[in-house]
Chains A and B, each alone.
Chain A
């Protein structure tokens, strides 16, 4: 039990460090790091607070603390993955709309360039 809690605490700290490092290097935008940091901090808090873990175990009807912890960690990651699926879907929709718009605008610009100039009035 203690070993599992220590491993989860270590993984949480590693995750926080990796996310912060990637924010610093501008590999992740701050708004998209919030989900990961929230999940990591929650895991760290649960692994370091037996009382909190017990309360949570009672809440979800699981008396075995390691199983309760793993369930909560799994649920946290599912929430994060779902959030990113929504974001990716929105980005894909925006990408398609932009791509179509670019293609249509390019076509219209080319057509304007090919259009013969009207004779100017003097």
Chain B
């Protein structure tokens, strides 16, 4: 079983749903670059061999008994990491879009900046490639929308390449948005007067499978996230903002 080691213990979290085609490569790359880091895959009741492939590649795997969705999976990983005493968790996707080469940068920024969350952003000195048109429009819209709420620009609000420290881990282990969690998570951080930083990363094309965010679902995505953000603003209890 994975266990934290040292005062800067870090766990890699990979939520995965039907990622049989890419997960072994992602884990292999992580193992090659950071052999010391424990890797936890949360298998969201995949219909393919994601669990077996991940285990064979050397990761620890949690399998939820029914399909929870991205937020439920990520929260399961956060819960375990918090219970085990990890100081930091870096989450990346199992489809290969997030290059493990940037894990070190996110880890170092988490340690040195004091920010509770560090986001790997494809738009901070990045090239912004490998984004669908629908997602690109959504990113532009939410970038503008979140700037109004957070009073700080977020270049890549939908990025799932995210690191959190133990303070944020404690919050997210207790409560985490179920669907499309990235944007809502930022608003939750604001409510708690937590800080986030963005670091430049380059995203790659997914190695296998198809994105769950299709053109039709993009519309639902926008409505759902707007409602989620609104609810979180209503919950906001008022305090000095540090973001």
Q: Point out residues on A near B: beta carbons under 8 Å.
A: 96, 99-100, 102-104, 106-108, 111-112, 115
Q: Which residues of B contact A103 (CB under 8 A)?
A: 42, 62-65, 76
Contact residues in A for B137 (Cβ distance below 8 Å): none
Which of the listed residues A99, A103, A106, A107 has the most CB atoms from chain B within 10 Å of its own CB?
A103
* CB pairs A–B below 8 angstroms (18 shown): A96-B68, A96-B178, A99-B65, A99-B68, A100-B64, A100-B68, A100-B75, A100-B79, A102-B64, A103-B65, A104-B79, A106-B62, A106-B63, A107-B1, A107-B61, A107-B63, A108-B1, A111-B60
In whole angstroms, how far apart are the Cα atoms of A111 and B64 in the complex? 16
Q: Which residues of A contact B65 (CB under 8 A)?
A: 99, 102-103
Give complex CA distance A104, B72 in Å: 13
A112 and B72 CA atoms in complex are apart in Å by 25
Other-chain contact of A100, B1, B60, B61, B76 (Cβ < 8 Å)? B76
Is there contact, CB below 8 Å, between B72 and A99? yes
Residue of B whose beta carbon sits closest to that of A98: B65
Which residues of the partner chain A approach B83 to less than 8 Å between Cβ atoms?
104
B80 beta carbon closer than 8 Å to chain A: yes
Q: How far apart sit A103 and B178, CA to CA, in the bound complex (Å)? A: 17
Are A104 and B62 also in contact (CB < 8 A) when A96-B178, A111-B1 are? yes
The reply to whether A99 and B64 form a contact with Cβ atoms under 8 Å apart is yes
- In Å, the complex CA distance between A115 and B2 comes to 12
Q: A99-B64, A99-B66, A99-B68 are in contact. Are A104 and B1 (CB under 8 A)?
A: no
Question: Complex Cα distance A106/B83, Å?
Answer: 15
Give the nearest-CB partner of A114 in chain B. B1
- Kindly list chain B residues whose C-beta atoms are within 8 Å of the C-beta of A104: 62, 76, 79-80, 83
Q: Mark B41-80, 1 if CB is under 8 A from A, else 0.
A: 0100000000000000000111111101000100110011
Which residues of B are found within 8 Å of A112, using beta-carbon distances?
Answer: 1
Complex: A102 Cα to B75 Cα, angstroms: 13
In the assembled complex, the Cα of A111 lies from the Cα of B178 at a distance in Å of 28
Query: Using Cβ atoms and an 8 Å threshold, which residues of chain A touch B72?
Result: 96, 99-100
Interface residues of B in 198-213 (CB under 8 A from A): none
Minimum distance in angstroms from B49 CB to a CB of chain A: 18
B135: min CB distance to chain A, Å: 26
The complex places the Cα of A53 from the Cα of B240 at a distance, in Å, of 54
